[in-house]
Amino acid sequence: MEVRTRTHWQNTIKKYKVTPVKLFEPETLDDIVSIIREAESRKLKVRAVGTGHSFSDVAITHEYLVDLFRIDKVNRYDERVVKETFKEMKLVESGAGIRIRDLNRKLDTMGLALINMGGIDHQKLAGVISTGTHGTGKDIEAMQGFVQSIVLVAVGGAVYRIEKTNGITDPTKFNEAGTQLIQDDAIFYSAVLSFGSMGIIYSLVIEVRELYYLRETKLATNWKELKKKWLDGTIFTEGDTESAGEVPRSVSFLINPYALKNRKTGEPEHYCIVSRHYKASKPRKWFLIEETRNLISYIFGNFPVTYYYTILVFNLLPRRAPYLIRGSLKSLRDKKFVHKSYKVLFQAFQFIKERAYDAEFAFDLSHTPSLITAIENIITNAKEMKENARLYHSSPLGARFVKRSKAYLAVEYGRDIAYMDTPFLLRTRGTETMLELCQQIMFDKDGIPHWGKVNSILDGKEGFLAATYPKLGTWKMTLKKFNPNGTFNNHFMERNGLT
């Protein structure tokens, strides 16, 4: 195992930079056990990190930091120990430190695929699960929804395999020496989404499916039309000529917060793009050429120069912001992109996205009007800030959908949700002020902040968490079991009253 001292670690947006006492790069389960024991003996805090794609301070500690990138093996979960009732399920066990991109590639070689994923693939598996990373689809759960078994190393270096009460592993066949099998819903649904606070996750068994294809359409509309279809529900059911009546698997959309004149009608409108994913079969391949999204968005999304050009224009000519946003939305239009599921679920623009950050709040889908009011309040605020302070949004607003989860601290616990996203490019003028305002607007409309995104509005709002998460008490009891002395605590947990 590599151990570094006098080294730095920072999250992708470089907002949180730490010089930990030690940065460990374990290779085995025993390495993790020894790290935790050493931390305890020296009364130091210890925390695992993923790739630092969280914008909040969720992953930060100044003491012992553990990066599991060397723990990245993927195998079918041992069928011999799986209960008869789960034999049909496709189960793989993966090292916690694997990046989603590498996991996708590995699964592909096994003829398998993730059921869902977030919009990019640079994060690590345990990282995405620990903050509830989501993709889109009101009938599809976020990443933690596919976890069936977790190997967790907690205080004293004790190793647990944690599963649901009716877990996949047959206790009579369980044969992992030195590991205690716990099959208990309360413990599983607490630990599965616990941002590193209950110990270090070594591996996860996730349910996957056979390799599959998706077809994506990205079509233009405007906010007035979109809102109408959202309110009457057709946004979720509408197909196109190719879908032959089939309902899309998932929908998401992007909205220009600024109204601009439509060139054909002359009417001001908020330009929008609606993305839909449909089931598809394997396309016929062009000779040696892999299918890509439309060429303009491919170029715009993959070359750093477009990012630096955009930053320059935003800062030198901020009044162009509404036009730049509309231009970037137009570049996304695409009648058809068919590919393997993980290439379609990957929403591209990784270079730009890793140089942006956002506040993202969840809204109960059964109260769609409060989300619509939040969107319209953000639009009104964008207009006021433009006129009064010459501050601008630098990206479109986004909305995605997620099916309810049983994980106690998932923002979608017990409710289907829509996530509302307000991204800003780093280094554009006024970003912090605008993000504060967006957080306040969404919070005032009962939005619940994503754990891994900007969520400073939660500071000092312990009452909010207790009112929002009905199982917080049970979660805290589980925390006490695995982390009785605060070994895995950090400032994020303290400021949220989670210790």
* Residue keyed to tokens 């030690």: 22
User: Among 124, 218, 404, 495, which residue sits at the site for ligand FAD (rule: CB under 6 A)?
Assistant: 124
Nearer to ligand FAD, 82 or 100 (CB): 100
> Would you count residue 161 as binding ligand FAD (CB under 6 A)?
no
Which residues share a beta bridge with 364?
417
- Between helix 223-232 and helix 368-389 the angle, nearest 10°, is 160
- On whether the CB atoms of residues 160 and 154 are closer than 8 A, the answer is yes
C-alpha–C-alpha distance, residues 448 and 291, integer Å = 38
Residue 268 CB, shortest distance to ligand FAD, in Å, is 30
Site for ligand FAD in 447-466 (CB under 6 A): 450, 452
CA 272 to chain centre: 22
User: Among 46, 54, 216, 424, which residue sits at the site for ligand FAD (rule: CB under 6 A)?
Assistant: 54
Nearest to 97 by CA among 24, 19, 38, 186: 24
- On whether the CB atoms of residues 129 and 136 are closer than 8 A, the answer is no
Residue 373 CB, shortest distance to ligand FAD, in Å, is 23
Site for ligand FAD in 218-277 (CB under 6 A): none
Q: How does strand 356-364 pair with strand 417-425?
A: antiparallel
Site for ligand FAD in 193-212 (CB under 6 A): 195-196, 200-201
Check residue 166 and report its DSSP letter. T
Of 108-116, 118-126, 184-192, 226-234, the window that binds ligand FAD (rule: CB under 6 A) is: 118-126
CA atoms within 13 A on the CB side of 49: 31
> Would you count residue 493 as binding ligand FAD (CB under 6 A)?
no
> Would you count residue 120 as binding ligand FAD (CB under 6 A)?
yes
- What six digits make up the tokens of 470? 């009905």
Residue 230 CB, shortest distance to ligand FAD, in Å, is 20
Give the burial string for 287-322 (b: 16+ CB within 10 Å, else e).
Answer: eeeeebbbeebeebbeeeebbeebbebbeeebeebb
Residue 372 CB, shortest distance to ligand FAD, in Å, is 21
User: Among 22, 45, 47, 406, which residue sits at the site for ligand FAD (rule: CB under 6 A)?
Assistant: 47
Nearest to 120 by CA among 106, 105, 134: 134
- On whether the CB atoms of residues 329 and 272 are closer than 8 A, the answer is yes
User: Among 22, 45, 134, 218, which residue sits at the site for ligand FAD (rule: CB under 6 A)?
Assistant: 134
Residues 6+ positions from 143 with CB-CB distance below 8 Å: 116, 117, 118, 128, 129, 132, 133, 134
- What six digits make up the tokens of 404? 């309810």
Nearer to ligand FAD, 381 or 428 (CB): 428
C-alpha–C-alpha distance, residues 30 and 35, integer Å = 9
User: Among 24, 35, 36, 52, which residue sits at the site for ligand FAD (rule: CB under 6 A)?
Assistant: 52
Of 192-200, 230-238, 315-323, 430-438, the window that binds ligand FAD (rule: CB under 6 A) is: 192-200
- On whether the CB atoms of residues 352 and 304 are closer than 8 A, the answer is no
Of 1-9, 33-41, 123-131, 247-255, the window that binds ligand FAD (rule: CB under 6 A) is: 123-131
Of 54-62, 184-192, 208-216, 464-472, the window that binds ligand FAD (rule: CB under 6 A) is: 54-62
C-alpha–C-alpha distance, residues 286 and 429, integer Å = 44
User: Among 23, 33, 36, 49, which residue sits at the site for ligand FAD (rule: CB under 6 A)?
Assistant: 49
> Would you count residue 324 as binding ligand FAD (CB under 6 A)?
no
> Would you count residue 331 as binding ligand FAD (CB under 6 A)?
no
Q: Cα–Cα–Cα angle for 359, 125, 24, nearest 5°?
A: 100
* Residue keyed to tokens 């979660």: 475
> Would you count residue 118 as binding ligand FAD (CB under 6 A)?
yes
> Would you count residue 53 as binding ligand FAD (CB under 6 A)?
yes
Q: Which string of x and - marks every residue 340-369 that binds ligand FAD (by CB under 6 A)? A: -------------xx---------------
Residue 350 CB, shortest distance to ligand FAD, in Å, is 7
Nearer to ligand FAD, 120 or 272 (CB): 120
Nearer to ligand FAD, 56 or 331 (CB): 56
> Would you count residue 119 as binding ligand FAD (CB under 6 A)?
yes
Site for ligand FAD in 60-79 (CB under 6 A): 68
# residues contacting ligand FAD (CB under 6 A): 33
- On whether the CB atoms of residues 416 and 365 are closer than 8 A, the answer is yes
User: Among 20, 26, 127, 145, which residue sits at the site for ligand FAD (rule: CB under 6 A)?
Assistant: 127
User: Among 35, 48, 420, 425, which residue sits at the site for ligand FAD (rule: CB under 6 A)?
Assistant: 48
Q: How far is CA 30 from CA 94, 156, 176, 202, in A?
A: 17, 12, 14, 10
Fill in the amino acid letter for 425.
L
> Would you count residue 423 as binding ligand FAD (CB under 6 A)?
no
Binding site for ligand FAD (CB under 6 A): 12, 47-54, 58-59, 68, 96, 118-120, 123-124, 126-128, 130-131, 133-134, 195-196, 200-201, 353-354, 450, 452
